[in-house]
Amino acid sequence: MSNKVIAGFSDSRHSILLAKNIAKLTKSPVNLILAKKFPDGETNLRFSSDVKGKTVYLMRPLKTADEDINNNMMKAIFAAQTAKDLGAARVILVAPYLAYMRQDKRFRPYEAISSRIMANLFSRCFDELITFDPHLHRYRSLSEIFTIKTKRLSADALLAEYIKKNYKNPIILGPDEESYQWARDIAKMIGCPVDVLKKHRYTAESVKIKIKDRLNLKNKSVAIVDDMVSTGHTMIEVIKDAKKLGARKVYCVCVHGLFVENAYEKMKRAGAREVVSTNTIANNAAKIDISKLLAESIIKE
Ligand code: R5P
């Protein structure tokens, strides 16, 4: 019998769905963690069955609609400690979107480098971390900040497959230098042209993209790909510039669709014909499913 248990949290529909799906694909049992909030805001967690001697996979999306990231992190930590306390052999955090990775340096004096703090905390609380396309900009790999085993899965092939199937003769655009990693890989898989632009970010809400005038986008279909969309400002700048250069259809495709402050609607208004993401974060644009990839990786463990 499998030693693996797939745990979902009752407070998150996304967590429950993911747990059920992964449990089915990996042929492992589900253990629902009953997550309750006391009137004063304190959290109370309870596993619904025994985890003694098991390898527990905690399906904990960190960005959810009704709870903030910090609370979701806290619940993952509480659940891990409880599982250990109940005799679990190993506790693995499955966070399809890894929050805090963009805070990878002290941008202003006296500021916290939150990615390091998160990694430090997680390394103490879990035995392993599985995630998708973490934002690696100033770090080359997760092992620079984590001391536990980390598994970095990539949705690039799924994005490429979606673009190839749904958009005719696309040009792939990456909005900034960081995006070259995934933009080039995706274009290579599709067998189509690619260009990477230059971005300057002034604040979280203000970015300027430098598009090259020599870029011939006249009457072309453009697929802008990025690892994540948060406020959507990055994508919106590229959409506007691509349209100015005559692009006929502009599509936006990303791995992690955070879509904060009505980013999805704003991108559509700016002229995006379609906005698509994977389901590492639950949202209405999540048409690309990562479950199979995740399950395959868990089966191999
Ligand atoms: C950062 O460089 C990332 O790759 C994204 O381009 C960025 O996080 C998107 O943020 P926003 O949607 O707020 O512009």
Q: How many CB atoms lie within 10 A of CB 237?
A: 21
- Looking at residue 205, what is its pLDDT? 67
pTM over 0.85, yes/no: yes
Is residue 102 pLDDT above 90, yes or no?
Answer: yes
Is residue 42 pLDDT above 60, yes or no?
Answer: yes
Is residue 295 pLDDT above 60, yes or no?
Answer: yes
Is the shortest distance between the CB of 178 and ligand 1 below 6 Å?
yes
**Tokens 């703090």 -> residue:** 117
pLDDT digits (tens, 9 = 90+) for 146-199: 999 999 999 999 999 999 999 999 999 999 888 888 999 999 999 999 998 877
Q: What average pLDDT does the segment 281-288 reach?
A: 96
Nearest CA to ligand 1 atom 3: 228
Task: Report d(CA 241, CA 219) in Å as an integer.
Answer: 14
Do 208 and 224 form a contact (C-beta atoms < 8 A)? Answer: no
Is the shortest distance between the CB of 230 and ligand 1 below 6 Å?
yes
**Token pair for residue 246?**
């005559």
Q: How confident is the model at residue 280 (pLDDT cuts 50, 70, 90)?
A: very high
Q: How confident is the model at residue 51 (pLDDT cuts 50, 70, 90)?
A: very high
Is residue 208 pLDDT above 80, yes or no?
Answer: no
Q: What percent of the chain has pLDDT over 70?
A: 95
**Following DSSP, what letter does each residue of 97-153 receive, concatenated?**
S-TTTT--S--STT---HHHHHHHHHHHH-SEEEEES---SS-SSGGGT-SSEEEEE
Cα(79) to centroid(ligand 1), Å: 30
Compare 196 and 25 and report the one with higher pLDDT. 25
- Looking at residue 202, what is its pLDDT? 65
| Dihedral pair phi/psi, residue 96, rounded to 5° | -55, -35
Nearest CA to ligand 1 atom 9: 229
Q: How confident is the model at residue 212 (pLDDT cuts 50, 70, 90)?
A: low
171-to-39, 114, 226, 268 alpha-carbon distances in Å: 53, 35, 14, 19
Give the residue, out of 228, 239, 275, with the most ligand 1 atoms within 8 A of its beta carbon, to mutate for a pocket test: 228
- Looking at residue 37, what is its pLDDT? 93
Is the shortest distance between the CB of 225 and ligand 1 below 6 Å?
no
Q: What average pLDDT does the segment 120-125 reach?
A: 98
**Token pair for residue 79?**
């659940």
Is residue 278 pLDDT above 80, yes or no?
Answer: yes
Q: How confident is the model at residue 65 (pLDDT cuts 50, 70, 90)?
A: confident
Taking alpha carbons only, the member of 173, 179, 127 closest to residue 148 is 127
Q: What is the mean pLDDT of the chain?
A: 94
First to last CA, the chain: 15
